[in-house]
Structure 1
Amino acid sequence: MSTTRHLVNRRRRLAHAGAARPATQAPPERGRRAANSPQPKSGSEGRPSKGKTGSEARPLKLRAGSDAVAPPASPARPRLGGSAGSSAREAFRVLRRSVRAPVVLCVLIVLLGAFAALAVTRADALRSDPAARNAALTDPARTSEVKGQTAKAVAALFSYNYADPAPADKAASTLLTGTAVQQHRDMLATVRSQAKDQKLVLTTTVTDSGVEMIDGSRARVLVYADQSSTRTSGKKPETSYAAAMFAVDVVRGSGSTWRISGIDTFGQGS
């Protein structure tokens, strides 16, 4: 009974394999012998006769790779290829860019707005800073003008010749204004009072100066000067030297003329 079941199963598998193969391919030799062999009849005992030998008397064993039918392969997952796949990928990229563009634009608008607000705030802070209004740091031409006129004014105002006081008087009337008029008068009071008796000649030379601040029509200048005082009343002229450091406040009058409006000797007196 076991042999009969194996033969029947074998015929079914061979029939299925033959239908799957091309029509031009001949069926294997073993399959033809098995198909032509007579099917044993089942008896009361259900066993084949003892006189038969060979393949009909023994159970058949299928060897892998000979007559076995391979199981059907699992269906592959469909993939997009060719122009259809490229079109789908390109459409996805366009969609992603179209979604991303408004977000990027919004972020840029926010950043530009924040930058503009920061710039306005910084500009107001700079304009309110006194250093930002100091033209001595940003206007070389104006700084040079103030420095040159102040040096000439100091040299003329603090020089005096007993024999010719007119230049000193003219400088005081044209180059001084405000509180500097009285300050200059007090500082040169002793020189004027002793000039005739001692035949005094006072000479002031500006050795260096620096513009501290220029704010519109006002400025402040630090002055370094050398002074020489010569007395010729005795048998032999006597000359003494001194150095001076002070600051002057200047204002611009009519035109481009700068006049001294204040004198700061830093508590050194006259």
Structure 2
Amino acid sequence: MSTVEDAAETDSATADEVRHGDDPAPAAGAASRSGRRGLITLLVCAVVLTLAGSGLLVRAHQLSASPAASNDALTDTEATTRVIGDVSSALGKVLSYTPQDTDVTAQAARELLAGRAARQYAALFGQVGARAKAQHLTLTTQVVRAAVTRLTDRDARLLVFLDQVAQRKGKPAGAVPAQLSVSAELRSGGWLITDITAR
């Protein structure tokens, strides 16, 4: 009788162990699943970090390649001041004349203008010089404000506001404001005006 009871108790204990999860096989399976979840989490994190890093690299390239990043007018005050000074001085010389010194103005234009600006000036100044002598016309040009909108180590673009005072012999002087877009190039250590457009 005791043998039957002992067998029954052994079966009952085995059933309790199974119910309470004391079997080592399920514990090993759970550890395996937990390890797989950890590996998947690591892979997902790696992919997310790689994508985020790529996105940041692309954005950094866009910022460094943008026009603002290559515009020294925003950062180099010395170069900005110099180009404003050179262009303002050149405009004052090539857009000012008296009936007696049109040759001096033409010579200044040959030294301070280049490219399209030089060609335009050469085409127009012959007529202007003749008119200045015939009408005893004096024109004085002064830059009142200039701003550099774009600047590199080779070229610049400026917005220039100037006042021009014209006077004919025996008549009162008349002042006229003007606004120009000016392009300039750095050549042989100085800024030459390459394009002038009235705005």
**Structure with higher strand content:** 2
Q: Are 1:250 and 2:187 counterparts? A: no
Deviation of 1:203 after TM superposition, in Å, equals 0.4
Q: Hey, what does 2:107 align to over in structure 1? A: 170
Q: Are 1:241 and 2:175 counterparts? A: yes
Identity %: 34
Matches within 5 A, 1:1-270: 116-232=53-169, 236-255=170-189, 257-266=190-199
Q: Deviations for 1:101-157, whole angstroms, at most 9, x for unmatched residues?
A: xxxx99998787556434322221112222221111222222111111111111111
For normalisation by structure 1, the TM-score amounts to 0.53
Deviation of 1:216 after TM superposition, in Å, equals 3.4
SS at match of 1:242: strand
Distance in 1 (alpha carbons) for counterparts of 2:78 and 2:49 = 37
**Structure 2: where are the runs of 5+ without partners?**
1-41
Q: Hey, what does 1:61 align to over in structure 2? A: none
SS at match of 1:244: strand
**Structure 1 residues 254, 164: CA separation in 2 closer, same or farther (over 3 Å shift)?**
same
The structure whose Rg is larger is 1
Deviation of 1:262 after TM superposition, in Å, equals 0.8
Greater relative contact order (Cα < 8 A, sep 6+): 2
Matched positions, count: 160
Instruction: Give the aligned CA root-mean-square deviation in angstroms.
Output: 2.5
Q: Deviations for 1:167-226, whole angstroms, at most 9, x for unmatched residues?
A: 312211111111111212344344211122222211001111111111331111111111
Distance in 1 (alpha carbons) for counterparts of 2:76 and 2:49 = 32
Distance in 1 (alpha carbons) for counterparts of 2:44 and 2:80 = 46
